[in-house]
Amino acid sequence: MIHIAIVEDVKAEADLLQGCLEQYRQDNRIVFQLHFFPDADTFLQTDTHTFDIVFMDVDMPSRNGIEASRVLRETNKTIVLLFVTNLAQYAIAGYEVDALDYILKPINYYSFKLKIQKALEAVHHLHGIMLTISGEHGPQYVRSTDVLYIEVQNHSLIYHTQYSDLTATGTLKRVENQLAEEGFFRCNYCYLVNLRHVDFLDGNTVMVGGHPLQISRNRRKDFLQQMTGFYGKGGR
């Protein structure tokens, strides 16, 4: 589920954005959770890290969208920011706060669709996909980017994440296929490594999130090639 904040003081404009998102949802079978804020200060008082994307109106009373975005970036560097404005000249200000793009009013669905696709790609690059891990206590959910590595232990899979270890049933081969496009690669028969969390390589040892893992001799060349390709495409 993608969590989206709409910061807009004019209800008709907020409703128009909602309508575009609803149409995109229907066309692409994606789930959005929308949150509406009538002004920038109300939005900034929330935990902005709970949102993946924010549509920020530029022309608002009290605190405009540019000023609000400067404050936002002091604490949140990763939220995908899109300006909504009447004037294209504000796009230049977007570089200052690392805005992904801007949408000109009046909004039309065709141009909106291109922007939201770009935003969703950025979210995916930052956070990966949501994994459902089925264990003895029921399903648990974790983003692929939060997984350091996955280990086979007896007949179980151990997901070593940035926060805790999660135990699941299944095969490493199935998970390897699932995460093939997410920057994961096996360093030996029992470890599937998230390349974005590799700290360094030393001989046949790879340090992943502070954990030393052995690279098998017959996989070392392929592992190095995968690492080179991953970072060459802007990994992390």
Q: What is the CATH number of the domain that holds 97?
A: 3.40.50.2300
Of 78, 93, 127, which one is at a domain's C-terminal end? 127
Looking at the fold, whether 122 and 213 belong to one and the same domain comes out as: no
Of 127, 153, 180, which one is at a domain's C-terminal end? 127
Looking at the fold, whether 110 and 178 belong to one and the same domain comes out as: no
Looking at the fold, whether 23 and 112 belong to one and the same domain comes out as: yes
Looking at the fold, whether 116 and 29 belong to one and the same domain comes out as: yes
Ramachandran quadrant class, 198 (left: phi over 0; alpha: psi -120 to 50; beta: rest)? beta
Looking at the fold, whether 86 and 11 belong to one and the same domain comes out as: yes
- Position 234 scores a pLDDT of 57
SS3 state at 202: strand
Omega before residue 139 within 30° of 0, cis: no
Looking at the fold, whether 196 and 98 belong to one and the same domain comes out as: no
- Position 92 scores a pLDDT of 67
Looking at the fold, whether 153 and 221 belong to one and the same domain comes out as: yes
Instruction: Please choose, from the candidates 142, 149, 128, 147, the residue with its C-alpha nearest in 3D space to the C-alpha of residue 193.
Output: 149
Looking at the fold, whether 79 and 162 belong to one and the same domain comes out as: no
Looking at the fold, whether 115 and 8 belong to one and the same domain comes out as: yes
φ, ψ dihedrals at 24, nearest 5° = -65, -40
pLDDT for 61-94, tens place per residue?
889 999 999 999 999 988 999 999 887 666 666 7
203-219 average pLDDT score: 93
Q: What is the CATH number of the domain that holds 184?
A: 2.40.50.1020
Q: What is the mean pLDDT of the chain?
A: 89
Q: Looking at the 3D structure of the chain, how many domains does it have?
A: 2
Instruction: Please choose, from the candidates 150, 152, 211, the residue with its C-alpha nearest in 3D space to the C-alpha of residue 184.
Output: 150
Range of the domain at 55: 2-127
pLDDT for 98-148, tens place per residue?
899 999 999 999 999 999 999 998 888 787 887 888 777 778 878 898 899
Other C-beta atoms lying within 10 Å of the C-beta of residue 70: 13
Looking at the fold, whether 33 and 120 belong to one and the same domain comes out as: yes
Side chain identity, residue 47 = D
pLDDT for 26-56, tens place per residue?
998 888 899 999 999 999 999 998 899 999 9
Looking at the fold, whether 142 and 108 belong to one and the same domain comes out as: no
Looking at the fold, whether 120 and 208 belong to one and the same domain comes out as: no
Of 70, 92, 127, which one is at a domain's C-terminal end? 127
Other C-beta atoms lying within 10 Å of the C-beta of residue 149: 24
Cite the beta strand spans of 126-231 per DSSP E: 130-135, 138-143, 147-153, 156-161, 165-168, 184-188, 191-194, 198-202, 205-208, 211-214
- Report the predicted TM-score, pTM, of the whole model to 2 decimal places: 0.65
Flag the least confident range among 12-16, 85-89, 168-172, 177-181.
Answer: 85-89
What's the Cα-to-Cα distance from 33 to each of 21, 51, 178, 220, rounded to whole Å?
A: 10, 9, 25, 43
- Position 139 scores a pLDDT of 80
Q: What angle do CA 128, 130, 132 make, to 5 degrees?
A: 145
